[in-house]
């Protein structure tokens, strides 16, 4: 029984450690490294305690077998000593050690805000993430949704808040969880040691689509990141191709522009994600890959893919208009 439990525990640890994109045991940033170290300490200590206790139980059970009828003398003083050692002294030592390791980890987790040169304001909404890239000149500011780009090896200061209810920002391979609270700002320093796409999600239950409130952190080499920023700063240009022009007109005249913005067009809605460079993003609403076919499916029936999402069902488009609309949005690189 004990062996089976240990086996299950070991399998779980292996699964958590290596086989998921959300593993805290596969850190890619300094803060995550500290958390992983703390995690391994906990796993190691708990495994050790389970082994010792399991061994003692087994030893006790086997030692008494066959001798139940004999009246062994009871060593009362020895029993008390063992209760003091096993029930008080060892737990105090173990818990004090864990307390110190936890305190040290909590101390280093906030990072050094002074070292960060890049500021991103992240606002949590039911059920998406808005990222505002702030620069000295407001004309250089831009927004993305559900996708945060950062340069590798450089600390980035994230100011976190919420537009509605309490959410929690969590990119497990880069940092611990941090609550996004309406009317209150929280800060973390995000830093990735190597390029990659790191998955993140909301870690505080916030409504029906809590599970699908996902985002990605895209860590790029610094020069690639600067090129991305330069592209994102640009407003969308009016398309020359008739198909795309038809799509842009549909976007501006139907309901889309009431909720979404596209800089450089008449679309100025502010309650839904800014779509200025939508075509460059990896996912649609955090739930599906960003392809034209998926986008069409999303536009006509978002509720089928993310039930409860604030995006309404838009079934008023005929086939050619829907195709033009999706083609236009995909062209916004």
Which of 165, 251, 241 lies closest to 209, judged by CA?
Answer: 165
Q: How far apart are CA 265 and CA 258, in angstroms?
A: 12
Single residue of 152, 174, 178, 206 touching ligand CUA by CB under 6 A:
206
Closest to ligand CUA by CB, 98 or 163: 163
Which listed range, 24-32, 201-209, 249-257, 317-325, lies at the site for ligand CUA (CB under 6 A)?
A: 201-209
- Could you say whether residue 309 binds ligand CUA (CB under 6 A)? no
Which of 259, 249, 245, 264 lies closest to 309, judged by CA?
Answer: 259
CA-CA-CA-CA torsion for 194, 198, 202, 203, nearest 10 degrees? -60
Question: DSSP label at 161?
Answer: E
Single residue of 204, 325, 327, 332 touching ligand CUA by CB under 6 A:
204
What is the per-residue DSSP string for 224-290? HHHHHHHHHHSPPPPP-SHHHHHHHHHHHHSTHHHH-B-TTSS-B--SS---TTGGG-SEETTTEE-
Which of 284, 279, 151, 263 lies closest to 215, judged by CA?
Answer: 284
- Could you say whether residue 202 binds ligand CUA (CB under 6 A)? yes
Closest to ligand CUA by CB, 13 or 181: 181
Among positions 149-168, residues that touch ligand CUA (CB under 6 A) are 167
3-state class (DSSP) for residue 68: coil
Closest to ligand CUA by CB, 202 or 326: 202
Closest to ligand CUA by CB, 208 or 255: 208
Residue count at the site for ligand CUA (CB under 6 A)?
A: 9
CB of residue 308 to ligand CUA, shortest distance in Å: 12
Binding mask 72-111 toward ligand CUA (x if CB under 6 A, else -) reads: ----------------------------------------
Closest to ligand CUA by CB, 250 or 272: 272
SS (H, E, C) 193-238: CCCEEEEEEECCCCCCCCCCCEEEEEEECHHHHHHHHHHHHCCCCC
Question: DSSP label at 66?
Answer: T
CB of residue 167 to ligand CUA, shortest distance in Å: 3
CB of residue 236 to ligand CUA, shortest distance in Å: 29
Closest to ligand CUA by CB, 147 or 191: 147
- Could you say whether residue 274 binds ligand CUA (CB under 6 A)? no
Which residues, 6+ apart, have CB-to-CB distance to 325 below 8 Å? 247, 250, 251, 256, 299, 317
Which of 25, 13, 14, 19 lies closest to 173, judged by CA?
Answer: 25
Q: How far apart are CA 30 and CA 45, in angstroms?
A: 23
CB of residue 270 to ligand CUA, shortest distance in Å: 19
Among positions 124-143, residues that touch ligand CUA (CB under 6 A) are 124, 127
CB of residue 213 to ligand CUA, shortest distance in Å: 4
CB of residue 204 to ligand CUA, shortest distance in Å: 5
Closest to ligand CUA by CB, 116 or 311: 311
CA quadruple 7, 11, 16, 17: dihedral sign: positive
Single residue of 205, 226, 241, 270 touching ligand CUA by CB under 6 A:
205
Which of 157, 177, 66, 72 lies closest to 111, judged by CA?
Answer: 157
- Could you say whether residue 295 binds ligand CUA (CB under 6 A)? no
Q: How far apart are CA 260 and CA 298, in angstroms?
A: 15
Single residue of 121, 177, 210, 310 touching ligand CUA by CB under 6 A:
210
Residues near ligand CUA (CB under 6 A) are: 124, 127, 167, 202, 204-206, 210, 213
């Amino acid at each position: 029984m004990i062996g089976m439990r240990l086996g299950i525990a070991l399998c779980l640890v292996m699964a958590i450690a290596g086989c998921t994109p959300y593993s805290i045991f596969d850190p890619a940033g300094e803060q995550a490294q500290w958390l992983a170290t703390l995690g391994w300490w906990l796993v190691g200590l708990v495994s050790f305690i389970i082994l010792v206790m399991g061994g003692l139980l087994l030893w006790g059970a086997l030692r008494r077998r066959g001798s139940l009828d004999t009246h062994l003398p009871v060593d009362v003083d020895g029993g008390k000593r063992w209760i003091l050692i096993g029930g008080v002294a060892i737990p105090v030592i173990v818990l004090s050690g864990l307390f110190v390791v936890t305190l040290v980890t909590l101390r280093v987790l906030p990072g050094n805000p002074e070292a960060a040169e890049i500021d991103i304001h992240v606002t949590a909404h039911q059920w998406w993430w808005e990222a505002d890239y702030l620069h000295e000149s407001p004309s250089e500011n831009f927004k993305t949704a559900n996708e945060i780009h950062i340069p590798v090896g450089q600390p980035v200061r994230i100011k976190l808040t919420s537009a509605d209810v309490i959410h929690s920002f969590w990119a497990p391979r880069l940092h611990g969880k941090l609550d996004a609270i309406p009317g209150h700002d929280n800060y973390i320093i995000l830093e990735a040691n190597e390029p990659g796409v790191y998955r993140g999600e909301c870690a505080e239950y916030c409504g029906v689509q809590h599970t699908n409130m996902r985002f990605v952190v895209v860590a790029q080499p610094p020069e690639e990141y600067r090129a991305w920023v330069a592209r994102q700063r640009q407003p969308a240009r009016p398309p020359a191709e008739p198909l795309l022009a038809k799509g842009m007109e549909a976007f501006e005249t139907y309901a889309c522009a009431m909720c979404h913005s596209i800089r450089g067009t008449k679309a100025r809605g502010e309650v839904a994600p800014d779509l200025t460079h939508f075509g460059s993003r990896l996912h649609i609403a955090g739930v599906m890959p960003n392809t034209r076919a998926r986008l069409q499916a999303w536009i006509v029936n978002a509720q089928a893919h993310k039930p409860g999402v604030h995006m309404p069902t838009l079934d008023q488009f005929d086939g050619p208009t829907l195709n033009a609309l999706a083609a236009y949005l995909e062209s916004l690189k």
